[in-house]
Structure 1
Amino acid sequence: MDRTTQHEGDTEAVLHPPAGQENGDGGDAEARKRHQEKVDHEISDNVKESVLYWQGDDAISTRLEDNKKTLEDTVGLGASFDVVLREMSFGGRKVGIFFINGFANSLILTELLDRLSYVTPKDLSSNALHSYFERFIPHVQVELADQMSAAINKVLTGMSAFFIEGERKVILVDTRQYPSRGPDEPSIERVVRGSRDGFTETLMTNVALVRRRLRDPGLKYEVMQVGRRTRTDVCLAYIDDIADKKLVESVRAKIKKIVIDGIPLADKQLEEAMTGKKWNPYPLVRYSERPDVVASHLLEGRVVLFVDTSPSVMILPTTFFDLCQHAEENRQSPFMGSYLRWIRFAGIFASLFLLPLWMLMVISPELKPPVLDFIGPQKAAKLPLILQFLLIEFGVDLMRMAAVHTPTPLASAMGLIAAILIGDVAVKTGLFVNEVVLYMAIAAIGMFATPSYELGLANRLIRLVLLVLVAAFKVKGFVIGVTAILVLLTVHRSYNSSYMWPFIPFNARGMLSILVRKSVMEDEKRPSYNKPRDSTRMPEREGGS
């Protein structure tokens, strides 16, 4: 706390200028100079430190002018155009209404002011604060605060603070109205049939979308704030009588231990701060923008993290096979859902191993069985195979990044140019062989068919490593690479849960549920790796069967 008290002498000089200089120009100039020096020396990390630095304590003054001065010094009242203090008089008592212009709902504030305009001095004769709080502010969410830092923090979240002359407490009214878009369907997790609402950048909207689907009294929402400066709202969600208590406590403790300036990039920065993952490419959490997907995972005993300003939600723990599943599989019949799941698994397998296997058979033709004699380039190209693969891999990445940054009306033109340059001209000039372009296209389709974007990126990085190993060591390189991948995934753990469950450790029931999409009435057990307190989805039937 040394930083908040290192200029106490300056504070006294500003608040109490030397005798004889109170009204003189020299005194004003000296006071302004000392005040500017105090501004230049402030290095407060949060609102409370700033309040202590400027006024010496965290109390709310009974004088409105003193409170106004503190607000000018701490949050830039008068300097920032969106920070507003509306001074009015109700019942003969001065009132300052402090709010952020972009967050305040003007209709609610207008109604409150209209109501307060009927207050008379007689109404405030006994206890003004009690009268305002109990009678004259017709709003559902109203609370009191007796600390200046608490009031400022609430206002920075969108609430409005009523400072009343002569009172040491402030009235906080929830008048928030955040700028937001509608809950449109997520572009990454589209389904043919199903709900079209998706998460937005507003925390309250997101939790309400899940609460609408889970009317369970056991669903708990715990709100914490992360970041000394951003104070980003993070909501920990779980079903109390299903989720593992140790998992909930572990996640809660990790969030509270995070000491950082802020997380303006929301959920991704929170994930990095919690997991500490550096060089392992595989994701430890699953992201989703669909409320129905999040609700179904909560019913399985997972823990969910909502982060304000982010339209995606973190689900943990997760597994490799969880990241390979999509909501569309559960929107079809069990047979068709299983078929779609197998096709998806085949695409993911192709995105990982098709190119290394093809190059291995080209380099070592003795490995090819007779039925695969047709595999291999019919004519040689000017570039070695490994260089062709690396160039086309980087080319696909460039096209993917260009597609993200290309305006929608120009996306088709960009795709046409890429197809002509890489798919036609590159082959005709002899830089690439036809098979390289063909198999790379299949692998790219498999990557884009992967439901988890993070998993798709990790798989293509592993594919690059496998290609280099095969080019350098042939069969030994492929075997070593695949073994290293399996070991990496096996030792990889998502919040003390096996990443390769139910394959490692093997669980027959769980593996069957991965390979075959069961009907909703047959899926009676929750996944065991979540360690749910209640592992049964359905109550016992009559007769004990």
Structure 2
Amino acid sequence: MQNILITAADNKYNKISCRRNKMNTPDFRNYKNAEIDKTIDAAMTSLRTITGNSMDLNIMNVKICSVSCALVSIEGMISTSAMSELIFRPIMELSAQKSKGNSEQVFDFLTKESLLAAERKTVFNYGDVIQFLFSGFAVIFVEGLSKAVVYGIQGYDKRSVSEPASEQTIMCAQDSFTETIRTNISLVRRRMKTPSLRFEMMQIGKRSSTDVCMVYMSDRASSDAVDRLRKQLKGIKLDTVLTSGYIEPFIDEGFGSSVFSQMAYSERPDMICTRLNQGRICVFVDGTPFVLICPSLFAENFQTMDDFAEKPFYVTFMRWLKYIAFFLAVAFPGLYVALASFHPEVFTLKLLLNLAVSEESTPYPLTVEVLVLMLLFEIMKEAGLRLPKPVGSTVSIVGGLIIGDAAVKSGLVSAPLLIVVGITTTSSFVIPSLYQQTAILRLVYILVGGGSGLYGIALCTVLLMININSMDDLAVSYTAPVTPFFSKGIKDVISRRSFRSYEKTHSTIKEYKLDEKGGSQ
């Protein structure tokens, strides 16, 4: 029965649209540029047709000063209390004061003579009506007018601001972004009270029409980079955009050819404000708590917000400790396999004898042992990540202890190798932003180390350095300020400048911009 009603509504809508030449074809999918019907009945029929008479479409027919009107909303997307206070009460008071009026007078009251809601806009086509409806706005149609007014009274359920889950700090702010883009924007604006902070909202996704906001500081960011990123975002033709990962391949030029990415993510508002002050461009996507930072540098993966709350000498120590941890997470297993298989002379005699005795009791080659242990670790890590938190942590700890102990006692792996794997896996968690890269590079180093020794390790390192140095998204080298060398920013790589030095000079990402030949400007 419902299908028959929808079909009848489709036919009526198609006849109206064809008769008034508002659409080129009688297909209701071409509604975006169609003007709003002047009569309430025709407008409501068009809305039902466009939405397929969806059950969450709420239509309330009312009379305001003897003029027929319709209030349309989407169930669960608006605040009923806000609607009662901001719309129903003023309209009832107007009707009590003025019994008669015409359509223009009613529309002027809704748009000019009242403060029904902070967000208010006039729309003239069904495309804008649908966009606002599905964004939590209420729409009021007035009889005899081919336009409508929308009010922002959103009231859908959302997660409150909570502590960051992936970027823990000790002495810094403990709030993080949520899945609501306007809440995230307010968290940034609350910290950066400067008029140079710009927010540019756009919709990406043919079907999802996801709100995407490009944020930058006009006096810090490069105007060329802003124009280029804006063009890349508007050129995305995906049907749906649900997370920042959907748009990253379209704005990261080396996404498919480089191991690393020049786009960074952060769920911390204070980190985003820091990057904005350095001239970066950030991209907010509605529905995800992680904000995209364009462009990022390799050295920034070893920096945290706690660096700005601690003594410079301790920050220097921790920064170098992270560099060592990154080396151990990537190359330590492969280096161990290469030395034990091809260059045993580097070990002391006592250590070499212990390694030889341990390896003699294992049935598989050293390279196979390391690969098996690393793959088992990745399986346990993934299981602990996907399971509920109370169960996941227990599975990871108990599984690691039982499997590790049983593997050594059964003679499948050697005890020294288990120590190497333990040090490697622990080091990989020191730099969580580079975990994907370290997990893959670790396996590559194990294979080349077991296949050709230190020669393979050296060759793999050279190829990796070439790949990293070739990244220059938005005309900024990924390895700056090391290569090309910038003396002003090199101190932030090996240490942390004092805040007194920030008073004198403040560097931005524009200083690392490359010229047309690929050199530093």
TM-score, normalised via structure 2 length: 0.88
Describe the SS at the equivalent of 1:283.
coil
State how 1:183-194 maps to structure 2 within 5 Å: 183-194=161-172
State how 1:418-433 maps to structure 2 within 5 Å: 418-433=399-414
Matched, 1:67 2:48: no
State how 1:133-212 maps to structure 2 within 5 Å: 133-136=111-114, 138-212=116-190
State how 1:302-321 maps to structure 2 within 5 Å: 302-321=280-299
Partner residue, 1:464: 443
Structure 1: distance between partners of 2:160 and 2:39: 43
Could you tell me which of 77, 85, 91 is aligned with 2:59?
85
Q: CA distance change for structure 1 residues 261 and 83 in 2, over 3 Å: closer, same or farther?
A: same
Partner residue, 1:500: 479
Structure 1: distance between partners of 2:500 and 2:140: 55
Partner residue, 1:530: 510
Structure 2: distance between partners of 1:211 and 1:34: 45
Q: CA distance change for structure 1 residues 255 and 54 in 2, over 3 Å: closer, same or farther?
A: closer
Q: CA deviation at 1:31?
A: 7.5
Q: CA deviation at 1:242?
A: 1.1
Q: CA deviation at 1:479?
A: 1.5
Partner residue, 2:463: 484
Q: CA distance change for structure 1 residues 532 and 249 in 2, over 3 Å: closer, same or farther?
A: farther
Matched, 1:115 2:96: no
Could you tell me which of 376, 381, 385 is aligned with 1:395?
376
Which residue identity is paired with 2:480?
Answer: W
State how 1:2-401 maps to structure 2 within 5 Å: 32=8, 35=11, 58-77=34-53, 80-111=54-85, 112-118=87-93, 119=95, 120-124=98-102, 127-136=105-114, 138-264=116-242, 266-275=243-252, 277-368=255-346, 370=348, 373=351, 376=355, 378-380=357-359, 381-401=362-382
Q: Could you list the per-position Cα deviations for residues 348-384 of structure 1 after superposition, in whole angstroms to 9, with x for gaps in the alignment?
A: 1110121122112211335516599468454221111
Which residue identity is paired with 2:380?
Answer: M
Describe the SS at the equivalent of 2:233.
helix
Q: In 1, are the aligned partners of 2:407 and 2:413 still within 8 Å (CA)?
A: yes
Partner residue, 1:7: none
Structure 2: distance between partners of 1:29 and 1:76: 10
Structure 2: distance between partners of 1:211 and 1:33: 46
Structure 2: distance between partners of 1:516 and 1:300: 17
Q: CA distance change for structure 1 residues 52 and 298 in 2, over 3 Å: closer, same or farther?
A: same
Q: CA deviation at 1:325?
A: 1.7
Matched, 1:447 2:447: no
Q: Could you list the per-position Cα deviations for residues 487-513 of structure 1 after superposition, in whole angstroms to 9, with x for gaps in the alignment?
A: 111112232211111221123332222
Could you tell me which of 418, 431, 436 is aligned with 1:437?
418
Structure 2: distance between partners of 1:191 and 1:29: 58
Q: Could you list the per-position Cα deviations for residues 141-199 of structure 1 after superposition, in whole angstroms to 9, with x for gaps in the alignment?
A: 22211212212211111111101112221011111123211111111111111111100
Structure 1: distance between partners of 2:379 and 2:115: 58
Name stretches of at least 5 consecutive residues in structure 2 with no aligned partner: 15-22, 514-521
Q: CA distance change for structure 1 residues 327 and 340 in 2, over 3 Å: closer, same or farther?
A: same
Partner residue, 2:17: none
Q: In 2, are the aligned partners of 1:83 and 1:101 still within 8 Å (CA)?
A: yes
Structure 2: distance between partners of 1:56 and 1:397: 48
Describe the SS at the equivalent of 1:135.
coil
Q: CA deviation at 1:52?
A: 5.8
Which residue identity is paired with 2:510?
Answer: N
Q: CA deviation at 1:389?
A: 0.9
Structure 2: distance between partners of 1:383 and 1:149: 65
Partner residue, 1:21: none
Structure 1: distance between partners of 2:132 and 2:24: 12
Structure 1: distance between partners of 2:341 and 2:26: 68
Q: CA distance change for structure 1 residues 103 and 372 in 2, over 3 Å: closer, same or farther?
A: farther
Q: Could you list the per-position Cα deviations for residues 205-255 of structure 1 after superposition, in whole angstroms to 9, with x for gaps in the alignment?
A: 111111111111100000111111111111111110111111111100100
Structure 2: distance between partners of 1:216 and 1:51: 48
Q: Could you list the per-position Cα deviations for residues 21-71 of structure 1 after superposition, in whole angstroms to 9, with x for gaps in the alignment?
A: xxxxxxx99984984998xxxxxxxx9999865779711112111011101
Q: CA distance change for structure 1 residues 245 and 37 in 2, over 3 Å: closer, same or farther?
A: closer
Structure 2: distance between partners of 1:508 and 1:29: 72
Q: CA deviation at 1:75?
A: 1.4
Which residue identity is paired with 2:69?
Answer: V
Structure 1: distance between partners of 2:335 and 2:220: 44
Structure 2: distance between partners of 1:403 and 1:30: 48
Q: Which moved more, 1:277-286 or 1:455-464?
A: 277-286
Describe the SS at the equivalent of 2:213.
strand
Describe the SS at the equivalent of 2:501.
coil
Q: CA deviation at 1:411?
A: 2.6
Structure 2: distance between partners of 1:65 and 1:34: 14
Q: Could you list the per-position Cα deviations for residues 83-115 of structure 1 after superposition, in whole angstroms to 9, with x for gaps in the alignment?
A: 211112222112111111111111121121122
Q: CA distance change for structure 1 residues 445 and 145 in 2, over 3 Å: closer, same or farther?
A: same
Describe the SS at the equivalent of 2:130.
helix
Q: In 1, are the aligned partners of 2:252 and 2:261 still within 8 Å (CA)?
A: no
Q: CA distance change for structure 1 residues 191 and 408 in 2, over 3 Å: closer, same or farther?
A: same
Q: Which moved more, 1:375-384 or 1:334-343?
A: 375-384
Matched, 1:512 2:512: no
Structure 1: distance between partners of 2:13 and 2:103: 43
Structure 2: distance between partners of 1:480 and 1:56: 56
State the identity %: 22
Question: How many residue pairs are counted as aligned between the two chains?
Answer: 494
Q: Which moved more, 1:413-422 or 1:318-327?
A: 413-422
Q: In 1, are the aligned partners of 2:117 and 2:153 still within 8 Å (CA)?
A: no
Describe the SS at the equivalent of 1:521.
helix
Structure 1: distance between partners of 2:196 and 2:304: 26
Which residue identity is paired with 1:476?
Answer: Y
Q: CA deviation at 1:414?
A: 0.9
Q: CA distance change for structure 1 residues 116 and 528 in 2, over 3 Å: closer, same or farther?
A: closer
Which residue identity is paired with 1:405?
Answer: R
TM-score, normalised via structure 1 length: 0.84
Q: CA deviation at 1:406?
A: 1.5
Partner residue, 1:536: none
Structure 2: distance between partners of 1:327 and 1:54: 49
Q: In 1, are the aligned partners of 2:333 and 2:421 still within 8 Å (CA)?
A: yes
Matched, 1:521 2:500: yes
Q: Could you list the per-position Cα deviations for residues 368-420 of structure 1 after superposition, in whole angstroms to 9, with x for gaps in the alignment?
A: 16599468454221111111111111111101110112222323431343123
Which residue identity is paired with 2:70?
Answer: G
Structure 2: distance between partners of 1:131 and 1:498: 56
